[in-house]
Amino acid sequence: MDGQQYKALPDDLTLWCVYCGHHADHSEFTTEQQIDRAREAASDFGHQLIHHELERMFKGLSRGSRRTGLSFSFTSQPFHPRPLPGIAEEKLVRVRTCSGCHTNYAIFSEHRYCPVCGQLPATSVAFDTLQAEAARLDALEALPSEAKALLREQGVFTRNWVDTVENVVGVVEALASSLFRAAVPNADALLNGKGAIFQRPGPMAELIANAGFSDVRSALGPQTWQRLLETWAARHLFTHNDGIVDEKYLIRVPGSSARIGQRLVLTEDVCRQALDDAKTLCETLIDVMR
């Protein structure tokens, strides 16, 4: 977290792990390296106090006894604290600002929580996930040619494209469900018995329109909506039929050149278009149900 913002927080504030959502007192998030450093500092401080006290009591004092022939004296040696152990942590490069409490914090990976106010809004999660999907495509494309060739032969690129299409549907489903439940007072009653309706774009659009909101299909336009239908159809095919084209797919995608029994072939361009369309759909859902 930003140092100044952290210092300004109340002492009794509960903090959140940005990854798993564990929330507890500040002390629960102290790392082993920080504890070791604090112990070393406390140990040196204790030794320094003892040294100063002994020096105060005995400095310049010497005693002896003629009867026993024994004597003692005290001499002081300079005290030099040892260097404190360093804290070796991976450098954080991705800095975020919470849209709710405006806290600045850095993260290592995918996250769902703000360290101060907890659960992130569904909108933040959705756009973060779409951005991560695009970054994954970019990372594979940026690999050296030899590495790309090896991964392509092993099916990594194809698997990545399939995962992207499947994840796009999950992002929209989670966002649409969250927005609908927040905007519609009787959402639970309207959703009762409708199953995973937010996984089906047509019924989802009808549900939203019937609840009194604008029709997302009209807001998106026919071309974008048709591409989204094709993305959802591809996702259904890979999730439930290993990508093998069936009659249901051809009904949903009448312009497809694939034939029944063939395995659907995805491309990077198709995935990037799906990401763009999903982002547009998310923005439209937010505007419609605002």
The DSSP element (H or E) to which 5 belongs, if any, is helix 3-7
What is the rounded CA–CA span in Å between residue 232 and residue 281? 13
- Answer yes or no: pTM beyond 0.75: yes
Render pLDDT for 47-72 as a digit per residue (tens, 0 to 9).
778 777 777 776 655 555 556 566 66
Q: What is the DSSP string of 73-133?
A: E-------PPPPPP---PPP-EEEE-TTT--EEEESS---EETTTEEPPHHHHHHHHHHHH
Which of 165, 184, 178, 135 has its CA nearest to residue 228?
Answer: 165
Render pLDDT for 143-167 as a digit per residue (tens, 0 to 9).
999 999 999 999 999 999 999 999 9
Whole-Å CA distances, 57 to 47, 63, 64, 159, 221: 15, 13, 17, 76, 88
Whole-Å CA distances, 178 to 197, 209, 212: 13, 16, 17
Amino acid letter, residue 166: E
Render pLDDT for 212-237 as a digit per residue (tens, 0 to 9).
999 999 999 999 999 999 999 999 99
- State the average pLDDT for the chain: 88
